[in-house]
């Protein structure tokens, strides 16, 4: 019926997600007194141990990444049960002894989201909870980018009927399923929370898979007509030992 308002997507929300990208002032850090750097490293190890404890208790997950290009040097990725818990994690890093050597590069706040165009999802379904509370892989690489659905003329996602949106997303999902076992995808919603509508995290042992899946998905109508993409950030997971080498404290 003409003039009818399209039905919104049904969503379930899970963990809150913070992408905290930082620059490291390498000259200042490497020229700092040895005792000061060692103290900052011990404090950072304690912070990571706190985050690991949160994960062990099932209250969140985290990862630290070395980021390629000048966009950032490090990504501190945290998932928590609430915004308050994320604020505590961010505050702890901001007050750490290494914080004077770090400066903001980019940040994105969102909430892990599952959507359905056809009706409400069952939060008690066994496959739902793991997808709403994803664990950050402890290895490999990450690709993060924010995105919107276009709202221009005839290509206005929000004026499409739910059935048409569902068909488009189904075809899009079929492309993604071809990469099952190669790429883990986490979608988070940021409407009303940040400058873009969604955040996308791709995790893989092979960064070439990021190029392949994103390129192939560009040919899906939902991306070709309605996708608007922000900056892409790619990084490598850092274990505590790898982070120590990166900071040259070993």
- Which pLDDT value is given to residue 127? 87
Within a domain: residue 5? Answer: no
- Which pLDDT value is given to residue 64? 98
Within a domain: residue 4? Answer: no
Within a domain: residue 240? Answer: yes
Range of the domain at 234: 10-247
* 40/222 Cα distance (integer angstroms): 47
User: How far is residue 129 from each of residues 121, 126, 132, measured CA to CA in Å?
Assistant: 11, 7, 5
CATH of the domain at 167: 3.30.70.1030
Q: What is the mean pLDDT of each run of 10 residues along the chain (250 residues)?
A: 68 97 98 98 98 98 98 98 98 98 98 85 88 97 97 90 88 89 97 97 98 95 93 98 96
Within a domain: residue 136? Answer: yes
Residues facing 61 on adjacent strands:
79
String of DSSP letters for 82-126? SHHHHHHHHHHHHTSTTGGGEEEEEEEEEEEEEEESSS---TTST
Within a domain: residue 76? Answer: yes
- Which pLDDT value is given to residue 5? 64
Whole-prediction pTM = 0.94
Our count of domains for the chain comes to 1
Within a domain: residue 3? Answer: no
Within a domain: residue 80? Answer: yes
Within a domain: residue 206? Answer: yes
* 169/118 Cα distance (integer angstroms): 11
> Catalytic residue numbers?
145
pLDDT in tens, 16-47: 999 999 999 999 999 999 999 999 999 999 99
């Amino acid at each position: 019926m003409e003039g009818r308002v399209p039905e919104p997507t049904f969503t379930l929300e899970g963990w809150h997600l913070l992408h905290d990208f930082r620059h490291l002032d390498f000259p200042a850090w490497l020229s700092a007194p040895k005792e000061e750097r060692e103290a900052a490293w011990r404090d950072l190890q304690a912070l990571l141990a706190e985050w690991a404890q949160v994960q062990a208790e099932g209250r969140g997950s985290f990862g630290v990444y070395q980021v390629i290009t000048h966009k950032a040097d490090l990504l501190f990725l945290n998932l928590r049960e609430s915004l308050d818990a994320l604020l505590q994690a961010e505050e702890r890093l901001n007050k750490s002894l290494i914080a004077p050597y770090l400066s903001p590069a980019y940040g994105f706040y969102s909430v892990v989201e599952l959507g359905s165009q056809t009706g409400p999802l069952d939060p008690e379904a066994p496959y739902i909870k793991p997808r709403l509370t994803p664990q950050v892989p402890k290895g490999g690489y990450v690709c993060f980018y924010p995105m919107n659905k276009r709202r221009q003329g005839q290509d206005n996602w929000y004026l499409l009927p739910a059935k048409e949106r569902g068909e488009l997303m189904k075809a899009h999902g079929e492309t993604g399923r071809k990469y099952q076992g190669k790429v883990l995808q986490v979608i988070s919603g940021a409407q009303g929370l940040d400058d873009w509508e969604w955040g996308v995290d791709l995790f893989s042992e092979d960064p070439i898979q990021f190029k392949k899946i994103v390129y192939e998905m560009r040919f899906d109508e939902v991306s070709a007509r309605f996708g608007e993409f922000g900056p892409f950030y790619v990084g490598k997971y850092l274990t505590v030992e790898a982070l120590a080498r990166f900071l040259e404290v070993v």
